[in-house]
Structure 1
């Protein structure tokens, strides 16, 4: 297995972090300890759990952390829909970030399947 920093899924998840942080920096200050914090924690969890999974000693543990990353991705998606509902992000911004999320989902699913079928 190559270094996790060379993985497309990890690189794409890092790019998503930058996009999301840019969006949440425009949220109202009243959201700093609520939705902004929760969204930022969710998006950080995605590449972090990919990295932690790769650092584990077994494929079973790696898969577990990849699933945690996938769960954070779905949590993030929901929170961004809520941000749109609250009019913190525009339809265009939502659409653009959802495209990035879809890309990470595809890569993550492929990576999970790779580990599942490795045996």
Structure 2
């Protein structure tokens, strides 16, 4: 979390929350590659991509206020993604084990974001 307060101390690539969110996004992209439902595929891959992207943008911002703003966007993307995972499971696009695994990871990332945001205030 200190990395978010002093970007010079750590590279983005070493930040656990960013790496984990990138890994999750890659898994979701791979799962939905070639999926016929373009609308759903587009929406879930966009929200999964938005999570690490907003973490990265927050990491690069100079002020604590800007950092918190982009982490808040990432947290919103996490909520959006969690909803899409539930819907994807319920309509048969995502197997239960994957939905549970990805959903748990999203919840952990959301908690991590909240903890970082609290430290920035």
TM-score range, shorter chain: 0.7 to 0.9
Does 1:112 find its partner at 2:117? yes
Secondary structure at the aligned position of 2:44 is classed as: helix
Q: Assess if the C-alpha contact under 8 Å between 1:4 and 1:51 holds in 2.
A: yes
Instruction: List alignment gaps of at least 5 residues for structure 2.
Output: 1-5
- Runs (4+) of structure 1 exceeding 6 A deviation are none
Residue 15 of structure 1: aligned partner: 23
Secondary structure at the aligned position of 1:57 is classed as: coil
Counterpart mapping for 1:38-117 below 5 A? 38-116=43-121
Deviations 1:77-106 (A, max 9, x none): 111111111111122121111121122112
Q: Assess if the C-alpha contact under 8 Å between 1:8 and 1:107 holds in 2.
A: no
What is the TM-score with the length of structure 1 in the denominator? 0.87
Does 1:6 find its partner at 2:11? no
Aligned pairs, how many?
113
Write the distance in 2 (CA, Å) between the matches of 1:61 and 1:101: 22
CA RMSD of aligned residues (A): 1.4
Instruction: List alignment gaps of at least 5 residues for structure 1.
Output: none
Write the distance in 1 (CA, Å) between the matches of 2:119 and 2:20: 17
